[in-house]
Amino acid sequence: SAVISQKPSRDICQRGTSLTIQCQVDSQVTMMFWYRQQPGQSLTLIATANQGSEATYESGFVIDKFPISRPNLTFSTLTVSNLSPEDSSIYLCSGGPDTQYFGPGTRLTVL
Amino acid sequence: GIQVEQSPPDLILQEGANSTLRCNFSDSVNNLQWFHQNPWGQLINLFYIPSGTKQNGRLSATTVATERYSLLYISSSQTTDSGVYFCAVRDGTGANSKLTFGKGITLSVRP
């Protein structure tokens, strides 16, 4: 199994600013994933983060808006840039060899 | 991409009742997971079950891969079972090993 932690757990941000979310895994994993969960909705994959290469973004998500870093096999960050109220969501990271484990999520509110 | 459908979308139970949650998927998969999202937003792994049957306490799951469906059984439901249940599948490996989520089933267990 894998234990995944995220920081911050929640934040309230002003329009136009950025928020960086950190994700730490307690074991090395090849791939980490970032998801967005809008209010009352299911999870949507933003991007796949591989160590040592550019992240792979899903349709509708772009690097300028959601830059991702993956400096090693246990850590990744997601930045949500130029925030607008539509970015208010829960952001979750996940990882794992076969079974995917999820962090507790970061609840973002944009005013 | 692969499609995941869950039914019913909502379910209300009296404490102590049993229930069956269904997940249909449109193509062959190499990973299927069931999650419970609690009221605080935490995604909890219930089962990793690409095929076969597993049991964990009051919960059990069966995946019939050849017929492209999975069932989650909850017996003697408790109020703490309330929340959203997600089924997620993976049909690729390596760079395509992302999970695709269904829309979820909202379960309310009343005392």
How confident is the prediction for chain A on average, in pLDDT?
Answer: 93
Residues forming a β-bridge with A32: A49, A95
The β-bridge partners of A11 are A108
| CB-based contact, B110 to chain A, within 8 Å | no
> What pLDDT digit, counting tens, does each position of B41-97 carry?
889 999 999 999 999 999 999 999 999 999 999 999 999 999 999 999 987 766 567
Chain pair A-B, CB pairs under 8 angstroms: 49
The answer to whether A42 contacts B104, with C-beta atoms less than 8 Å apart, is yes
User: Is the residue at A105 inside a domain?
Assistant: no
For residue A107, tell me if it sits in a domain: no
**CB distance B18 to B35 below 8 Å:** no
- Domain with A59 in it: 4-95
Question: Is residue A12 a part of any domain in this protein?
Answer: yes
The model's pLDDT over A23-70, given as tens digits with 9 standing for 90+, comes to 999 999 888 999 999 999 999 999 999 887 889 999 999 999 999 999
Say whether A98 and B102 touch across the interface (CB within 8 A). Answer: no
Cβ atoms A79, A18 nearer than 8 A: yes
CATH topology of domain B4-110: Immunoglobulin-like (2.60.40)
Q: Is A85 helix (H, G, I), strand (E, B) or coil?
A: helix
Instruction: Assign residue A78 the CATH number of its domain.
Output: 2.60.40.10
Two tokens at A75?
């850590």
**Residue A99: which of B48, B100, B101 has the nearest Cβ?**
B48
Determine, yes or no, domain membership for A41.
Answer: yes
The CA distance from A51 to the nearest CA of chain B, in Å, is 12
Output the CA–CA distances (angstroms, integers) from residue B104 to A50, A54, B30, B56, B81, in the order listed. 28, 31, 20, 20, 14
Confirm whether A111 is domain-assigned.
Answer: no
Instruction: Please count the structural domains in chain A.
Output: 1
Domain spans, chain B: 4-110
Question: What are the chain B neighbours of A44 within 8 Å (beta carbons)?
Answer: 101
Chain B: give the shortest CA distance to residue A55, in Å.
10
Return the pLDDT at B64: 96
Q: Tell me the shortest Cα–Cα distance from A32 to chain B, in angstroms.
A: 9
